[in-house]
Amino acid sequence: MPGTSYPQIDPTTSSKSSKRPVDKRRGKRKPLARFPYEEFSFDMTPTSSSPLFKLPREIRDQIYDETFRDCRFKCREGKLSLHFAYGSPRRPNCNKLPRGLLACKQLLFEGMSQFHRDAVCVRYSAGNENCKPSPSQLLSLYRTSRVLLFSPKMLFPLKFKSGHGRLEDDSSIIVVPDEEASGPIVQDLCDHFRGRKHGIKSLGMRFRLPEGWQFPWVQNVQRWEVDLSSLEQLGWENSFDRVEFVIETPSLDGTGRDGVNAVQGVAIVYRLLQQEVENIAKRLVGARQDEDECLVRDWLDGNNKGKDYPTGDWHIQVRRAPDGTRPSRAIAHEGLSHWKNIAYGQTSGPRFHRLATQESGPVTFYHKASGDRIEVDVPTDGRPIVPAEAGRERKRFCADPKHEAMLIQWGVL
């Protein structure tokens, strides 16, 4: 279209991560502040007659493991309310720590060491009051080895950066974490770790793209960008050994209200989000700027055996490459491979799947049952994008579903 400036993707600038120096102390962790019950010397005289302490330490650890097995625990630390899971809890209610651990300091020390070694922090929420941990508090997020925030209640939503609601011909659209969402807030977790050493080795988080109706008109956007650099704060004090990020399968009304424009916008942002989370994960495990030093792989959630097309959410795992191990990158699912077509007001719908591996150019999504096809242009080589459709331009898009519903009723959208 003569005189039209098409939006572009610059694959070399998908991340605006800070230039702070990366911790190069591979595998070295400073000791944590000690709990009160840890401030003692191991004097076995009082417990020498106990049959329990005559057993090898490995056997005692197995006993502690069975004590905590399949239980949930909850505690308060700072502004965060924390939920821990040990094993595979079947009951939704939280348990209390076994009182038998209070029999002596050594029993308490060994039992809580086993708990923090295998327990997983699965959920957190922020409160209004800053409650300092009491001397008797035994659970701590700083001591646990794994923080895996994969539950449905722990989805981290993304949004379009504030101030980019009015679209002009030279507009730039930036996707950032939603710090005003009703669910988990990334900054709350970053603030909790600021200036404190921790013993966490594995970190996992799940992200959700903005809804389809929120995507601006593609032909007006000059630049798309995803910025998750705020997550780097989690690794400022200690780097992790393993980081796993999950991107939830997008849901949009691609054949109805949202239209092909939303499909194209989601496909563009999804690929940039994949690149950004990989870059952030590498920094969180302590990779240097000039070399990878990582083992990277991706996969799709769910059982895809016997299915024509993949299903499930996209996972990427980045691990520190052990000394003497050659770094590797095994990425098999670049770009948006499938999405759920959900009409307005529905909670489930059919899936559209990409017909071939994404390359620079037109990408075709296909629904097997109906035979519907949607083709959009998603270049990866920096060339101008060909908009999927033209029509009445959206001068602004609304981030409030209630207001958006009113705009639809009035015929604005």
- 3-state secondary structure string across the chain: CCCCCCCECCHHHCCCCCCCCCCCCCCCCCCCCCCHHHCCCCCCCCCCCCCHHHCCHHHHHHHHHHHHCCEEEEEEEEEEEEEEEECCCCCCCCCCCCHHHHHCHHHHHHHHHHHHHHCEEEEEEEEEEEECCCCCCCCCCCCCCEEEECCHHHEEEEEECCCCCECCCCEEEEEEECCCCCCCCHHHHHHHHCCCCCCCCEEEEEEECCCHHHCCCHHHEEEEEECCHHHHHHHCCCCCCEEEEEECCCEECCCCCCHHHHHHHHHHHHHHHHHHHHHHHHHHCCCCCCCCCEEEEEEECCCCCCCCCCCCCEEEEEEECCCCCCCEEECCCCCCCEEEECCCCCCCCCEEEECCCCCCEEEEEECCCCCCEEEEEECCCCCECCCCCCCCCCCECCCCHHHHHHHHHHCCC
Q: What is the pLDDT of residue 179?
A: 76
More confident residue, 282 or 394: 282
**84, 86, 89, 92: CA torsion to nearest 10:** -20
Higher pLDDT, 300 or 12: 300
**Beta carbons of 396 and 269 less than 8 angstroms apart:** no
* Distance, CA of 119 to CA of 84 (rounded, Å): 6
pTM (2 d.p.): 0.80
Residue 28 vs residue 59, higher pLDDT: 59
Q: How many CA atoms lie within 13 A of 59 on its CB side?
A: 6
Residue type, 258: D
Integer-rounded Cα radius of gyration of the chain: 25
Count of Cβ atoms closer than 10 Å to residue 262 Cβ: 27
> What local confidence, expressed as pLDDT, does residue 395 receive?
43
Q: Which two tokens stand for residue 292?
A: 């990878």
Residue-wise pLDDT tens digits, 156-204: 989 888 654 444 444 678 888 887 776 677 888 888 888 788 889 999 9
Burial level of 163, CB count in 10 A (0-12/13-18/19+)?
exposed
Query: What is the arithmetic mean of pLDDT over 74-78?
Result: 86
Q: In the predicted model, what is the mean pLDDT of residues 276-289?
A: 88
Angle in degrees, CA 204, 207, 212, rounded to 5: 170
Dihedral angle of Cα 224, 235, 84, 296, to the nearest 10 degrees? 60
pLDDT for residue 396: 45
Closest CA relative to residue 157, chosen from 134, 131, 125, 183: 183
Structural domain boundaries in the chain? 17-26+147-410, 36-141
**Are the beta carbons of 125 and 141 closer than 8 angstroms?**
no
pLDDT per residue over 2-46, tens digit each? 443 334 444 344 444 444 444 444 445 555 666 655 655 555 555
Q: By mean pLDDT, which of 1-10, 205-214, 240-249, 279-288 is the weakest?
A: 1-10
Mean pLDDT of 333-356: 79
Q: How far apart are CA 296 and CA 281, in angstroms?
A: 10
Place of tokens 């996969």: 299
pLDDT of residue 3: 41
Asked if pLDDT for residue 371 goes beyond 60, the answer is yes
Any idea which of 35-39, 91-95, 318-322, 336-340 has the lowest mean pLDDT? 35-39
Distance separating alpha carbons of residues 413 and 404, to the nearest angstrom: 8
389, 376 Cβ separation under 8 angstroms: no
Strand pairing category for 251-252 and 338-341: parallel
pLDDT over 70 percentage in the chain: 70
Nearest to 121 by CA among 238, 196, 205, 195: 205
Task: Output the six-digit token pair for 109.
Answer: 């020390």
Q: Do the bridges between strand 361-366 and strand 146-149 make them parallel or antiparallel, or are there none, so unpaired?
A: unpaired
Separation of alpha carbons 105 and 3, rounded Å: 77
pLDDT at 200: 92
Q: What angle do CA 404, 409, 413 make, to 5 degrees?
A: 55
